[in-house]
Amino acid sequence: MERTFTYIVGKEDAGKDIRTFLRARGYSRHILASMKPVRDAVLVNGEHQYMRFPLSEGDVLCTKVRDTESSVNVIPAPVPFDIAYEDEDLLVISKWADTAIHPAPGHPANTLANGVALYFQQKGIPYVFRCINRLDRDTTGLLIVAKNILSASVLETALQKHEIRRTYLAVAEGLVPEEGTIFLPIARKEGSLIERCVDLQTGDRAVTHFRTIRHMEDRSLVELHLETGRTHQIRVHMAAAGHPLMGDTLYNPDGIPGIGRQALHSARLDFVHPITGEQMHFESPLPEDMQALLQP
Rounded CA separation 218/240 (Å) = 17
* Res 217 pLDDT > 80: yes
pLDDT tier, 28 (very low <50, low <70, confident <90, very high otherwise): very high
What is the pLDDT, as a whole number, of residue 4?
92
Would you kindly state where each structural domain of the chain is located, as residue ranges? 2-66, 167-266
Contact in structure between 5 and 63 (CB atoms under 8 Å): yes
- At residue 36, the pLDDT reads 85
Catalytic member of 59, 67, 89, 136 = 136
Task: Provide the pLDDT for residue 175.
Answer: 96
d(CA 63, CA 65): 7
Identify the pLDDT of residue 126.
79
For residues 110-122, give the mean pLDDT: 92
Instruction: Give pLDDT, residue 72.
Output: 66
| Angle at 97 (CA atoms; ends 124, 123), nearest 5 degrees | 5
Give the model confidence (pLDDT) of 130-160 as tens digits.
999 999 999 999 999 999 999 999 999 999 9
Tell me: the pLDDT tens digits for 148-207? Answer: 999 999 999 999 998 999 999 999 999 999 999 999 999 999 999 899 999 999 999 999
Residue 131's closest CA among 108, 167, 103, 110?
A: 103
- Determine contact, residues 110/76, Cβ cutoff 8 Å: no
Mean pLDDT score, 236-249: 96
149 backbone φψ class: left, alpha, beta (φ>0; ψ -120 to 50): alpha
Task: Round to whole Å and give the CA distance between 86 and 208.
Answer: 29
Please state which architecture CATH assigns to domain 167-266: 2-Layer Sandwich (3.30)
Is a pLDDT exceeding 80 seen at residue 221? yes
pLDDT at 193: 85
Domain 2-66: state its class: alpha beta
**pLDDT tens string 60-96:** 999 998 876 666 678 889 999 999 999 999 999 999 9
* The pLDDT of residue 105: 76
- The answer to whether the beta carbons of residues 18 and 52 sit under 8 Å apart is yes
Instruction: Mark whether 289 is an active-site residue.
Output: no
Q: What is the pTM of this model?
A: 0.90
* pLDDT value, residue 39: 83
Mean of the per-residue pLDDT values of the chain: 93
What pLDDT, on the 0 to 100 scale, is given for residue 68?
A: 62
Question: Tens digit of pLDDT for each residue in 94-107?
Answer: 999 999 998 887 77
Are 199 and 187 spatial neighbours (Cβ–Cβ below 8 Å)?
Answer: yes
